[in-house]
Homo-oligomer: A and B are copies of this chain.
């Protein structure tokens, strides 16, 4: 980063000669904030190219002058990948004008969209052709396709449909030398060289800028069903997942675990959603089914509940009988992050573990955190994927400021345990600028060396999203 040149007025003037005026926008404060407020400030020259060729022009200009580029999608990332707080003033390259849906091919279950398309708009474009684009996450109303690709976003439907990487068949991208890779093929199979697609996905903008993508669509499930089951324990939740898999197979679209703190936090913070069970169960599971026209989701969920009751896995259950009830159940799940935000976490962890280790992890993590101090833990997440959002809060009545000095200690306790149990310190949020040190600490040394070699090979000037994923050296 120290070698980079600031995007100063002279650079901006030169860039203006190479791009239409519409590409230049005012840098409002929103571009320098992120959802959790962990990163803010810095500066930048905001550029919003309208075409792939314009993106390439920006990258070439930056490569020539050795100016850093911070790619900017919807600004919803949780690890600071979109905010460069210090270092020479970068170009902030926003995708906001690359919003064309280039084509929807329902017969092929494929859509080609530009990187600035908002996730919810891609979902709507699929729906308009009676297809499903299954990626679904809390920030889908703001997150852009380029961002979800660059972070390999997850969400609630990974269990059935895979992460973003599995949903992408091809990419168009501008590489760090300004060349354009035209890889937007609509092919399910194409073994003609290294998997540059997979490499660019999840690279968090450090290897180039994704400008468009060929995304997979799916037939819409004809019938859907949603239920909330109170389970005896996380181990019972895992057994319920296995039971559901044996009975319903690939029809399970989501399988979300919630601890009792989630619904209690909703109440405490005046979030509108409420748990329909009284008392609030210490552990519950939200299940979503998507079935064929000949199947009855209500029957499937009732049958599952009865079998689970007989096996001693569940103690209570609510099966949605209307779209309104279905929404209410999901609203409860979806408002938990907002409730967490209102309470204010000491430390938040997006972790994954081998599926069968999760009950043991929850026990051991609770003990490890208790050793550091008196905290409340809200554990919830995508149990079907082994992915927990493990968030730690001050004890009731304790102000956040009073315990924030324990943050590093808490985080270390959690991550050391995760690493010892062969888990991951970042399941779906990525590394960004927040977890660079964690990657160095917990990452495999041979993999890290390979990553550095790849980064240097593809971006020798180090202009692409400096400081993200790998430390500047």
Residues of A within 8 A of B (CB): 105, 107-108, 110, 151-152, 154, 158-159, 162-163, 165-166, 175, 179-183, 185-196, 198-199, 201-203, 207, 219, 221, 238, 242, 245-251, 292-293, 352-356, 382, 384-387, 422-431, 435, 438-439, 442-451, 453-454, 456-458, 469
**Which of B384, B442, B447 meets A181, CB within 8 Å?**
B447
Which of A179, A182, A201, A292 has most B Cβ within 10 Å? A292
Q: Check A193 against B355 for contact (C-beta < 8 Å).
A: no
* 10 pairs, CB–CB < 8 Å, chain A vs chain B: A108-B355, A108-B356, A181-B450, A189-B386, A191-B428, A191-B430, A192-B443, A248-B292, A453-B457, A456-B457
Q: How far does the alpha carbon of A448 sit from the alpha carbon of B162 in the complex, in Å?
A: 28
Contact (Cβ within 8 A) B162 A443: no
Give CA–CA (A191, B246) in the complex, Å.
29
- Compute how far the CA of A186 lies from the CA of B443 in the bound complex, rounded to whole angstroms: 15
Beta-carbon contact of A162 and B158 below 8 Å: no
Shortest distance from the beta carbon of A224 to any chain B beta carbon, whole Å: 13
- A289, chain B: closest CB distance, angstroms: 12
B199, B424, B446: the one within 8 Å of A198 (CB): B199
Q: Which of B191, B245, B426, B454 contacts A202 (CB 8 A)?
A: B191
Whether the Cβ atoms of B219 and A165 lie closer than 8 Å is: no
Give chain B residues whose Cβ lies under 8 Å from the Cβ of A469: 193-194
B154 A189 Cβ-Cβ under 8 A: yes
A291 to chain B, nearest CB (A): 8
Which of chain B's residues has its CB closest to A164's CB?
A: B191
List residues of chain B with CB within 8 A of the CB of A108.
354-356, 386
B190 touches A427 (CB 8 A): yes
Whether B182 and A446, one on each chain, are in contact in the complex, defined by CB atoms closer than 8 angstroms, is yes
CA distance A387 to B192 in the complex (A): 14
B352 & A187 in contact (Cβ 8 Å cutoff): yes
Q: Which of B189, B444, B450 contacts A428 (CB 8 A)?
A: B189
12 A-B pairs besides A182-B444, A189-B387, A194-B202 with CB distance below 8 A are: A107-B242, A110-B354, A152-B195, A179-B449, A181-B446, A187-B427, A189-B386, A191-B202, A195-B198, A221-B249, A250-B250, A251-B292
